Amino acid sequence: MKTTLILPTLNELGGMKEIMPKIKKEWYDQIIIVDGGSTDGTIEYAKENGYAVYVQKGKGLRQGLREMWGMVEGDIVITFSPDGNSIPELIPPLIEKMKEGYDMVIVSRYAKGAKSYDDDWVTRFGNWMFTTMINMLFRAHYDDALVIFRAYKTDLIRKLDMNKDAKFIEAAEKAGILIGWEPQLSIRCAKRKLKVAEIPGDEPVRIYGTRKMRPFKSGSVMLAQILYEIFVWR
């Protein structure tokens, strides 16, 4: 089972220098840095260390993933944040859990035995509220439906039509709303009753740079996504 590790970056040089040496080569078959237009040396650092880099043309992680998806060679994909929020040592147990036959495995910040040290009261409440909504509306059982750190079968993107909502995505982007990838994966896996698991994993504090997520705008995005999944996508 070949593994592709995808790391989104936007001015994450400090985090990259600390985190990347901890990611062992035997943990993955392919690694791709998806960069949103860094100006702090992140791109140069990645290339100097032999990592494949894709500099996206559009805005937002969702758009970056859509643009570079043809580069993916692995049977499974792991999305991983190199800003310190994701723990590299959890990559092997994540892969081992996928080998049990799951379609997706989430590294949950809120599962028993795990904790987010990067949360404030706004983000913690928001994560709880939207995860609860997803569980209630789509009959799911997530502890953490929104987190980026997860593994999933590569062909899920085709099976769940993740790249076929162009009109909705473009309309949202014109309105200044960047639609996320991970919550939609969680919702659509639940709707299709796919096999999903969670493993506990702490979320350390960011070690460099600034948080890209804006809680209140992200909240409006989540509501838009949930309504879209209820009334439009089947």
Percentage of the chain modeled with pLDDT above 70: 88
**Mapped to the 3 state alphabet, what secondary structure does 185-207 carry?**
HHHHHHHCCCCEEEEECCECCCC
Q: 62, 48, 49, 44: which is closest to 8 by C-alpha? A: 62
Tokens read off for 24: 């062992």
Question: For position 215, what pLDDT does the model report?
Answer: 58
Evaluate whether 54 touches 34 at the Cβ level (below 8 Å).
Answer: yes
Tokens read off for 176: 């200044």
List the domains of the chain with CATH numbers.
Answer: 3-231 (3.90.550.10)
Find how far residue 120's CA is from the centre of its chain: 20
Question: For position 179, what pLDDT does the model report?
Answer: 62
Q: Which parts of the chain sit beneath pLDDT 70? A: 165-179, 209-218, 233-234
* Integer Cα distance of 92 and 27 in angstroms: 6
Question: What is the number of other CB atoms lying within 10 angstroms of the CB of residue 50?
Answer: 8
What digits encode the pLDDT tens for the residues 161-214? 887 766 666 666 666 555 678 999 999 999 999 999 999 999 999 987 665 555
What is the sign, positive or negative, of the torsion defined by CA atoms of 42, 85, 122, 183? positive
